[in-house]
Chains A and B, each alone.
Chain A
Amino acid sequence: MMEKKLLGSTLSDVAISDIDLRPGPFSMSFGFDLEPLKASIGRFGVLNSPYLLKGPDRKFIVVAGYRRLLAARELGWPDTACQIVPDTFPPFEALLLNLNDNLTHRQLNTIEKAMVLKKLTRYLKGEEIIKNFMSILGIPANRQTLEVFLGLEELEETIRVSLAAERLSLRVAGLMTGIGRDDRLRINDLFTTIKWSFNQQWEAAQMLIEIASREGRSIKELIDEKEIMEVLGNDRMNNPQKVKSVVKILKARRLPSLLEAEKLFKRGLARVSLPLGVRIIPPPFFEGIDYKLEIVFRKGQELREKLAVLSHLSGLEMVTDFWRGMEPR
Chain B
Amino acid sequence: MRQFKISRILIERGAENDSLAKRILRRLPNIPVENVEPRERAPGEDIEGMDKMSLRIIHFRGEFLKPCPGTRRYMCCGYQILNVGTNCPMECSYCFLQSYVNQPSLRIFTNLEDKLNVIGEIIDASPDRIFRIGTGEFTDSLSLDYLTGWSDFLLPFFSHRKNCILELKTKTSSIKSLIESRYRKGIIIAWSLNTRRIIAKEERRTASLRSRVLAARQCQEAGFVLGFHFDPLVHYPGWEEDYEEIVQLLERYIDPEPIIWISLGSLRYMPDLKWTIKGRFSGTDIFDGEFVRGLDGKFRYFKPIRVEMYAKLSERLKKWYDDLGVYLCMESDDIWGQSLGWSPGNSANLATYLDGRVRKLVGH
Contact = CB atoms under 8 A, between A and B. Distances in A.
B122 interface: no
Nearest to B306: A287
Contact of A287 (B48, B285, B295): B295
Given A144-B48, A255-B302, A285 B288 contact: no
A284 B288 CA distance: 20
A143 B305 contact: no
Interface in A181-215: 210, 213-214
Interface in A266-300: 284-289
Interface stretch (A29-37, A92-100, A235-243, A256-264): A256-264
A261 B293 contact: no
A255 B302 CA distance: 9
Contacts of A324: 304
B238 to A, nearest CB: 14
A213 B288 contact: yes
A287 B288 contact: no
Contacts of A213: 285, 288
B282 A289 contact: no
Given A143-B47, A144-B279, A257 B302 contact: yes
Interface string A127-169: 0000000000000000110010000000000000000000000
Chain A at the B interface: SS class: helix
A285 B332 CA distance: 14
Contact of B46 (A143, A178, A210, A254): A143
Contacts of A287: 292-295, 300, 303
A285 B293 contact: yes
Interface in B64-96: 73
Interface string B280-306: 001001011010111100001011110
Contact of B292 (A143, A144, A147, A258): A258
Nearest to B274: A206
Contacts of A285: 292-293, 302-303
Contacts of A178: 278, 282
A188 to B, nearest CB: 20
B302 A258 contact: yes
B287 A210 contact: yes
A261 B304 CA distance: 10
A210 B287 CA distance: 7
What range describes how many residues of A lie at the interface?
20 to 34
A214 B291 CA distance: 13
Contacts of B292: 255, 258, 284-285, 287
A254 B287 CA distance: 11
B288 A214 contact: yes
Contact of A286 (B275, B288, B303): B303
B257 interface: no
Contacts of B285: 213-214
B334 interface: yes
What range describes how many residues of B lie at the interface?
20 to 34
Nearest to B301: A257
Contact of B305 (A147, A257, A289): A257
A210 B274 CA distance: 12
Contacts of B290: 254-258
A91 B84 CA distance: 49
Contact of A289 (B47, B48, B288, B334): B334
Nearest to A142: B47
Contacts of A214: 285, 288
A144 B276 CA distance: 9
Contacts of B332: 289
A284 B302 CA distance: 11
A258 B303 CA distance: 9
Contacts of A257: 290, 302, 304-305
Contacts of A255: 290, 292, 302
A28 to B, nearest CB: 26
A153 B290 CA distance: 33
Nearest to A214: B288
Interface in B321-337: 332-334
A324 B305 CA distance: 12
A284 B293 contact: yes
A137 B290 CA distance: 38
B34 to A, nearest CB: 17
A190 B302 CA distance: 29
Contacts of A284: 292-293
B338 to A, nearest CB: 9
A51 B287 CA distance: 52
Nearest to A215: B288
B300 to A, nearest CB: 7
A214 B278 CA distance: 15
Contacts of B334: 289
Contacts of B304: 257, 261, 324
Nearest to B304: A257
A18 B333 CA distance: 78
Nearest to A126: B46
Contacts of B287: 210
A255 B292 CA distance: 9
Contacts of A261: 302, 304
Contacts of A258: 290, 292, 302
A255 B279 CA distance: 23
A115 B287 CA distance: 33
Interface in B40-60: 46-48
Given A143-B47, A257-B302, A287-B303, A210 B295 contact: no
A213 B201 CA distance: 15
Most chain B Cβ neighbours within 10 Å, of A147, A257, A258, A287: A287
A147 B47 CA distance: 13
A257 B301 CA distance: 10
A288 B332 CA distance: 9
A289 B302 CA distance: 14
12 contacts: A213-B285, A214-B288, A255-B292, A256-B290, A257-B302, A257-B305, A258-B292, A261-B302, A261-B304, A288-B73, A289-B333, A324-B304
Q: Which 5 pairs, one residue from A and one from B, show the smallest C-beta to C-beta distance?
A: A285-B292, A214-B288, A255-B290, A257-B302, A258-B302
Given A210-B288, A255-B292, A257-B304, 9 more contacts: A147-B48, A178-B282, A213-B288, A214-B288, A255-B302, A258-B292, A284-B292, A287-B294, A289-B333
